[in-house]
Amino acid sequence: MVNGKKYKVGMYGGCFHPLHLGHLECMIKAAGLCEELYIVISYKAQSDIPLKVKIRWIWQLMKHIGNVKMIGLEERTKHKEDYTEDYWEDDCKKVKESIGKPIDVVFCGSDYDENSFWNKCYADSEFVVFPRDQYSSTEIRKDIYGHWEWMPQIVRSYFTKKVLLIGSESAGKSTLTINLANYFNTVYLEEVGRDLSELSGTDRYMLSEDFTRILLEHKAKEYRLMERANKVFFEDTDCLVTRFFMGFLEDENMEDNARLAEAIAEINSYDLILFLEPDVEWVQDGDRSEVIAADRRKYSDQLKEIYKKHGFTFREIRGDYNSRFDQAVQYVKELLAPMK
């Protein structure tokens, strides 16, 4: 309420590229002053942040309030300075037609003033400016991970980097995954198959459905954990590693599970893959394959070829455990460094 006044229809707009806490504060305050708040989302058709992603951000952040609606407005200029008054009036007309009722108030953050198009194009509406702190989408884009705390968690998850650790048995994947997650203060996905392969006490008696569960649960758990990650997310093995080890275990439904693994691989993507070479001591941990142990290099190279065949590139990690940790940390830090 501004000076005791409650508005019927209000509007707040922006590019939200990306959405930050300053935007969120303005939306919360604007929604509290209106019976209905329309949020106008400017977007480019070929933007690296699709309109649907921006809509999800705002919906998840504002759905509990209940009076917020969204409108997409496509930007037709490449650069902000090209957005002249001719475009202003045309876009204003589109927004008014979309809302379909008088707009009582237009809200803005203090990065805009009375000379902005938000004020000039909506002369019949009251113009309310909310003070806004240091938050800036421009500064975030320059160094996303250096301004991580400026964004709500749901926005952060969009920019989280995903790092996959792969390699043959006893290459130290699980230990390194946990060490990296702890070092970068984030979450990780452990190898789902470790527990599911022992439902009969040993992987020698796995059922076909166990492989199916491993493939599906691993992917589902990945989605859930990514929402909680802090800048980077670490994943111990994936569907192609599971597919590889199926060949060493009896699976009555091998062909169907292999197709499932291939289908998941098609939708998988990673920002960094670390391939751990088999040059640390072999440790028999439960039911590890003695066949693989007899020729670790051969089977490690086979696994490499599977990833190459699917179009994945990776960094090789070798040496003792400390060297592996140092190499991995350096690669991840490069991944999180500001763009030059």
State whether 86 and 187 are in the same domain. no
State whether 30 and 98 are in the same domain. yes
Is the distance from CB of 58 to CB of 27 less than 8 angstroms?
yes
38 pLDDT above the threshold of 90: yes
State whether 220 and 323 are in the same domain. yes
Q: Which of 118, 143, 168 is the last residue of a domain?
A: 143
Q: Which of 77, 111, 143 is the last residue of a domain?
A: 143
Q: Which of 91, 118, 143 is the last residue of a domain?
A: 143
Percent of all residues in the chain with a pLDDT value above 90, rounded to a whole number: 61
What's 314's domain CATH number?
Answer: 3.40.50.300
State whether 31 and 125 are in the same domain. yes
Q: Which residues contact 196 (CB under 8 A, 6 or more apart)?
A: 210, 213, 214, 217
Query: Residue 169 — very low, low, confident or very high, per pLDDT cuts 50/70/90?
Result: confident
Domain that holds residue 275: 160-336
- Give the range among 168-177, 182-191, 213-222, 299-308 with minimum mean pLDDT: 168-177
Give the Cα separation of 269 and 253 in Å (integer).
Answer: 26
Say how many domains are in the chain.
Answer: 2
Q: What angle do CA 325, 329, 334 make, to 5 degrees?
A: 155
State whether 220 and 164 are in the same domain. yes
State whether 132 and 263 are in the same domain. no
Q: What is the mean pLDDT of the chain?
A: 87
119 pLDDT above the threshold of 80: no
54 pLDDT above the threshold of 80: yes
Is the distance from CB of 261 to CB of 212 less than 8 angstroms?
no
State whether 313 and 173 are in the same domain. yes
Strand partners, 14: 41
State whether 189 and 330 are in the same domain. yes
Q: Given this model, what pLDDT does residue 89 score?
A: 81
> Residue 180 region, left (φ>0) first, then alpha (ψ -120 to 50), else beta?
alpha
Q: Given this model, what pLDDT does residue 208 score?
A: 80
Q: Given this model, what pLDDT does residue 298 score?
A: 83
In a domain, 166, yes or no: yes
pLDDT tens digits for range 226-268:
999 999 999 999 999 988 888 766 656 678 899 999 999 999 9
In a domain, 149, yes or no: no
State whether 304 and 198 are in the same domain. yes
In a domain, 91, yes or no: yes
Give the Cα separation of 272 and 76 in Å (integer).
Answer: 34
In a domain, 170, yes or no: yes
State whether 176 and 88 are in the same domain. no
pLDDT tens digits for range 57-68:
999 999 999 999
162 pLDDT above the threshold of 70: yes
pLDDT tens digits for range 308-326:
999 999 999 999 999 999 9
Is the distance from CB of 283 to CB of 173 less than 8 angstroms?
no
* Helix, strand, coil fractions of the chain, as percent rounded to 5: 45, 15, 35
In a domain, 242, yes or no: yes
Q: Which residues contact 340 (CB under 8 A, 6 or more apart)?
A: none
**For the ranges 54-63, 90-99, 302-311, the one whose mean pLDDT is highest:** 54-63
State whether 205 and 103 are in the same domain. no
- Give the range among 106-110, 152-156, 328-332, 333-337 with minimum mean pLDDT: 106-110
Give the Cα separation of 47 and 184 in Å (integer).
Answer: 29
